[in-house]
Amino acid sequence: MWVLLEMLQYQCDTNQFPIGIVPFGTGNDFARVLGWGGNISNNFIGENLNGLKRLIKKWISSKISLFDIWEVEFQTQDNGYFEKIEYVNEKATKIKMLDKNGQIIKSIKKPMSNYFSIGIDARIGFGFDKNRTQSAFINKAIYCCEAFKKLFIKTNRINQVLESLEILNEKQGLEKQLLKNEEQEQSNYYLKCDPACLLILNIDSYAGGVSNIWKSGRNKIGVQQLDKSQINQTQFKEQSYGDGIVEFISFDSSLNLGYERLFNGNAKKIAQGFGPFLLNFKKIESDLITFFQIDGEYYSVNRPKQVILKKFDQLFNGQIKVLVNQE
């Protein structure tokens, strides 16, 4: 995503520059869905730059595709704040997020290419950030350890923090309610089974290679009405990163998240649409803390207010061009 932000900063025409991918890093879900794999060899450059030359040849023969970019704007209540993990004196430290004037940040706005989530997976990632190393192997062990620890630590469930999910019509100023976590009204759809995680997907890869989450959940719906009636499965489409649509799913527990890495079918479908979307959080007098992540960047938020998810308006049609490996 940093490449895109640099292009925008220097006012480059993103329509003229398809983006090629080198899968550095740990998760590389973006690279995986475009066919470039999850990692590269230690001798990637190679003698006489042979490794780089081979990659460039693949770029030349690759296919150019459109790829959706979304924008996540997360706001807190007046007395709320965000926290994240940063290195202070070479030590991972949880800090309260401040602007350049030293004031507490009340709103975070970031582009999203892959996914956005609220709940237990983000809390696991937040703990992982405290102990991250330079070794990919050790990092995987640390992540598993954090996931195990969170089995014994109470984390607010989605029903405890989320009030409603709405789809907005900006042109007409209208709202359509997709979900409201109150069971009193017959017409309300509400979350089933008190989920531990709400995940919004733009791509078909999550958490370092967990794939086919949306497709494999074909017989599981995560919302229902008071009379137990569910959404019609036929209204859902196949997932694609260039169709202008995102998918909403839920997981009932951190164990379900872990099982998804071993075998598909643990997620429950909630919604699918073009947006913009509005997620409203519950207004509670005492502190309400939850965790969220945007493309693998983890945060804690105290007294959340709302999230607005919409297409990234700094791009034409909210899309970039990417190179897709054909081999």
Name the residue with higher pLDDT: 184 or 53. Answer: 53
State yes or no: pLDDT of 185 exceeds 80. no
Residue 40 CA to residue 63 CA, distance in Å, equals 21
Name which of 306, 310, 242 is nearest 279 in CA terms.
306
Tell me 236's DSSP state.
Answer: P
**Cβ–Cβ contacts within 10 Å for residue 219, how many?**
9
**What is the phi-psi region of residue 49: left when phi exceeds 0, alpha when psi lies from -120 to 50, beta otherwise?**
left
Domain ranges of the chain: 2-68+319-324, 70-311
Over residues 79-103, the mean pLDDT reads 93
State yes or no: pLDDT of 175 exceeds 70. no
Over residues 190-204, the mean pLDDT reads 90
Q: Considering only the top CATH level, what class is 70-311?
A: mainly beta
Residue 9 belongs to what H/E stretch? helix 2-9
State yes or no: pLDDT of 26 exceeds 70. no
State yes or no: pLDDT of 86 exceeds 60. yes
**Cβ–Cβ contacts within 10 Å for residue 248, how many?**
24
Weakest-pLDDT range from 121-125, 136-140, 274-278, 296-300: 136-140
For residues 271-306, one letter each, b for 16 or more C-beta atoms within 10 angstroms of the residue's C-beta and e for the rest, the string is bbeebbbbbbbeeeeeebbbbbbbbbbbbbbbbbbb
Q: Are 273 and 179 in contact (CB under 8 A)?
A: no
Over residues 218-233, the mean pLDDT reads 72
Q: Are 253 and 202 in contact (CB under 8 A)?
A: no
Q: How far is residue 139 from each of residues 32, 88, 133, 142, 145, measured CA to CA in Å?
A: 19, 20, 6, 5, 10
